[in-house]
Amino acid sequence: MDLLEEKLASDGLVKLRAAKAAWKAGSVEELRETVVEYQLIEAAKDLGLCTKTEMKALHGMLNKRNECAHPNDFFSRYEHYARLHLGIVNAGCHVATQDALSP
């Protein structure tokens, strides 16, 4: 996010202020304190710094970073099936290895 914030501020926040007049940040530090990162990514798209597809990818990476920074005990359905699949693959490898070692 630091790189994106610096890129948004590379012109002294002129373009950002024109696009987001309600944002009153006067510096990158104030921007970090007053605007959520999700909105900064959207602003980057609005200013042509990234495409809609890139914005979605950045949002996804931000969400994944936040999940890692604030873990909980909830396992998503995807994680459950991935673990189940790995268990099946590991069991299959074990059986195949045992079959190969049998006389």
Per-residue pLDDT tens over the stretch 3-14: 888 888 899 999
User: Is the torsion defined by CA of 61, 48, 21, 3 positive or negative?
Assistant: positive
- Please give the helix or strand (H or E) that residue 6 lies within, else none: helix 2-8
**Closest alpha carbon to 42 in 78, 4, 94, 88:** 4
The better pLDDT of the pair 81, 49 is held by 49
Percent of the chain whose predicted confidence (pLDDT) is above 90: 39
95 alpha-carbon distance from chain centroid: 38
Asked whether residue 75 carries a pLDDT value surpassing 60, the answer given is no
Predicted confidence (pLDDT) at residue 76 exceeds the cutoff of 80: no
Strands (E), the chain: none
- Select the more confidently predicted residue: 14 or 82: 14
pTM above 0.75, yes or no: no
CB neighbour list of residue 9: distance below 8 Å, 6 or more residues apart: 16, 27, 28, 31
